[in-house]
Structure 1
């Protein structure tokens, strides 16, 4: 599944964190119903974030100066 769908899934989970406890579980007097729901959704958001960021790569740009390179007064890069 693409990262865009995972991001939409996170937004749906965040929205459900408001709708379910305050709407559907609003009449439940025990606190642990909402707490359990929030814990499960929290784990699902962590899994979704892992799925979103699994394709990130740490690649350095090729056109940047390295520490060993010097830049002259006219802006030219010299090794």
Structure 2
């Protein structure tokens, strides 16, 4: 599945976090009904985020040119 598909999956999970507890589980008066659902969805969102970011690369592109700007603390004082 592509990253775009995983992103749509996260949005569906977020929407279900409102619909399921307040709609389908609205008549359940025990606290653990919605809490268990939110815990499971939370784990699923973490897995989806891992799947979305698995193709991210670290480091710079080999074609990137140096920017040439430095932070003031990185400059060397010349006397």
Q: How does the TM-score come out when normalised to structure 2?
A: 0.78
Count of residue correspondences? 67
The answer to which structure has the higher helix fraction is: 2
Give the Cα separation in 2 of the matches to 1:56 and 1:64: 20
Q: Distance in 1 between matches of 2:40 and 2:22?
A: 16
Shift of 1:50: 0.2
How big is the alpha-carbon RMSD for the aligned residues of Structure 1 and Structure 2?
A: 1.4
Matched, 1:48 2:36: no
Alignment-derived partner of residue 60 in structure 2: 60
Q: What are the ranges of 5 or more consecutive residues in structure 1 without an aligned counterpart?
A: 68-79
After TM superposition, give the deviation of residue 58 of structure 1 in Å. 1.5
More strand by share: 1
